[in-house]
Amino acid sequence: MKTLSRRVRQWSWNVLVATDEWLNALTGGDPDATISLRLAQAKGAGRLWGRIGCRVLDFLRPGHCAGVLDGEEAREPS
């Protein structure tokens, strides 16, 4: 059985991912994709806003955009 703190962490992570996907959909993106994935795809397409967004994300979490495209970013808290 999961401990209470693990359940709270999982619940919090799920809410963060849902909020991320909601914000992505709100701004015209795929409702099943995160903003990170959208930025990584835009970067791959050579769009300036994707390159800038990925630079910010990669500053906060190195390799994040590449990891999203490679499927290495799990949808679980680390």
77 domain-assigned: no
Q: How many domains does the chain have?
A: 1
75 domain-assigned: no
Q: Which domain holds residue 9?
A: 4-70
50 domain-assigned: yes
This prediction's pTM: 0.74
CA–CA dist 44, 12 (Å, integer): 30
CA–CA dist 55, 78 (Å, integer): 21
Q: How many CB atoms lie within 10 A of CB 37?
A: 19
CA–CA dist 51, 55 (Å, integer): 6
78 domain-assigned: no
Each of the 78 residues of the chain gets a pLDDT tens digit; together they read 678 899 999 999 999 999 999 999 999 999 989 999 999 999 999 999 999 999 999 999 999 999 998 874 444 444
